[in-house]
Structure 1
Amino acid sequence: MTLKPIIAALALFAFSAGAQTLRAEDSPRQFVQEFYEWYVPMTHHTHSEDASNIAIKKKSSAFSAELLQALKEDMIASSKSPGEIVGLDWDPFLNSQSDIDRCLLGNITSKNGAFRVEIYDVLGGKKDKKPAIIAEVKQENGHWIFVNFWNPDGGNLLSELRALSKERKKTRK
């Protein structure tokens, strides 16, 4: 008897045993946490473009095709009209116009095959009482992606981007 079948069986056992202890929300939590650990420090530095535009370019695989297309369209429209507000005038991933120290993740809920992750701002060592934004993520082709960002007071990023696009098309006529 060779060792290959034994090693394969042990690996399968170890994998399935580990999967049983992993909670469903742990994987989206890790994905969102890693994104914000990369993103928030970048917002503290001056760049030639907004941090959100850098994220769109460098982390495009972290966004659904629909969200990425809407963000790119908004980014291009804004770059063509410097000094005018023709697109988002706040950070779409922080739901803010001001800097924060860091983010903390809160509750994670499952809805229609996706997960919504509460994201709290931390400023001056104090965590906000309510989430600043709620990231909606789902798994697609074996990896996690952002599909939308929700404002805790209502509304969401995709709807806002669609409304801005519609307004730009109307004003061009």
Structure 2
Amino acid sequence: MTLGGLQAAAQPSRDATADSVGRVVQAFYTWYTPLATASGAGPAWMRAIHERRTLFAPAIVAALRRDSVASARSPDEVVGLDGDPFLNAQDPCEHYVVRRARRAGDRFLVDVVGEGGCARHTRADVVVEVMRGASGWRLENFRYPDPPTDLLAMLRRLHQR
């Protein structure tokens, strides 16, 4: 192999980076979905940010904690999230699968689709924004296609003072 061939082989391709990001997101959903579909105490997303805090952007952790506090103060009414923010569902599918990861500027966008035990989905249920953080890939935000919004914007609207 020539020197140029060695250098090209040593540099990760854009596809390899997108594949790496996709594997991180899939590993999260493989771990998270059983938590979200099991009945238990408290919302699964709070357990996720507690147990896997370094996987999430600080803004997501802070916004979900604010939402949790607001919900606890008003147990008889919905004042915050009324569905799972990582699955974009009130009635989740059996599992969630990464369909595509692509670069968008300084981040990656990862399409995630729910399957099994739900209606067939023709497009992503959620698009996960991922960036490189100090300790590896980090989930920065969760975009929702219908209606178009995202987790951080939705939580800001819910808790405007």
- Both proteins in one fold, TM over 0.5: yes
2:82 maps to what in 1?
89
- The whole-number CA distance in structure 2 between the counterparts of 1:125 and 1:164 is 28
Mean CA deviation greater in 114-123 or 53-62? 53-62
Report the more deviating stretch, 124-133 or 134-143. 124-133
Judging by fraction of residues, say which structure has more helix.
1
* Cα distance in 2, alignment partners of residues 93 and 165 from structure 1: 19
Gaps of 5+ in 2: 1-5
Alignment of 1:18-167 (within 5 A): 19-20=11-12, 23-124=16-117, 127-153=120-146, 154-166=148-160
Matches within 5 A, 1:5-20: 17=9, 19-20=11-12
Question: Taking structure 2 as the reference length, what is the TM-score of the superposition?
Answer: 0.87
Measured after TM superposition, the shift of residue 124 of structure 1 is 3.2
Look at both structures and tell me which one has the larger radius of gyration over its CA atoms. Answer: 1
CA–CA distance in structure 1, aligned partners of residues 134 and 81 of structure 2:
29
Q: Percent identity, aligned pairs only? A: 31
TM-score using structure 1 length: 0.81
Answer whether contact 1:120 1:127 (CA < 8 A) is retained.
no
Aligned residues: 153
Matched-pair contact (CA < 8 Å) for 1:62–1:145: yes
For residues 12 and 103 of structure 2, the distance between their equivalents in structure 1, rounded to whole angstroms, comes to 18
**Structure 1 residue ranges (4+ consecutive) displaced by more than 3 angstroms after TM superposition:** 16-22, 124-127
Deviations 1:63-88 (A, max 9, x none): 11112111111111112211211111
Root-mean-square deviation (Å): 2.0
Aligned amino acid, residue 97 of structure 1: Q
Q: Is the 8 A contact 2:22 2:100 kept in 1?
A: no
Pairwise CA distance, 1:24: 1.7
